[in-house]
Amino acid sequence: MPGITREEVAHLARLSRLELKAEELDHFAEQLDVIIGAVARVSDVADEDVPPTSHPLPLTNVMRADEVRPSLTPQEALSGAPAQEQQRFKVPQILGED
């Protein structure tokens, strides 16, 4: 695979609206060539007998099962509220709406 050229880096820089110096073009060309090579090696590793996966290890659900349990009554929940109205917490209006 031919390496990425200095002109290609300059073109990408123009598209990205980046102003690069001459030495930066050479430096980034080398770095991008290494990155592109590393990404290309991934396709060499993957084989047809390896199924595609989203995670390297199997995932297990760590959540507990939903169970109905007793909870507070509305009166108990509102007992410490500074203000309440129609079995709800009453708070100051903040958006200027009715």
Count the alpha carbons within 13 Å of 19 in the hemisphere toward its beta carbon: 0
Asked whether residue 51 carries a pLDDT value surpassing 90, the answer given is no
List pLDDT tens digits, range 7-17.
999 999 999 99
- Expressed as residue numbers, the domain containing 11 is 6-45
Residues in the chain: 98
- The number of distinct structural domains making up the chain is 1
Read off the CATH number of the domain in which 17 is found. Answer: 1.10.20
CA geometry: angle 76, 89, 87, nearest 5 deg? 60
Q: What is the pLDDT of residue 1?
A: 46
Does any domain span residue 21? yes
Does this model's pTM top 0.75? My answer is no
Q: Does residue 10 form part of some domain?
A: yes
Asked if residue 26 is part of any domain, the answer here is yes
The answer to whether residue 35 sits within a structural domain is yes
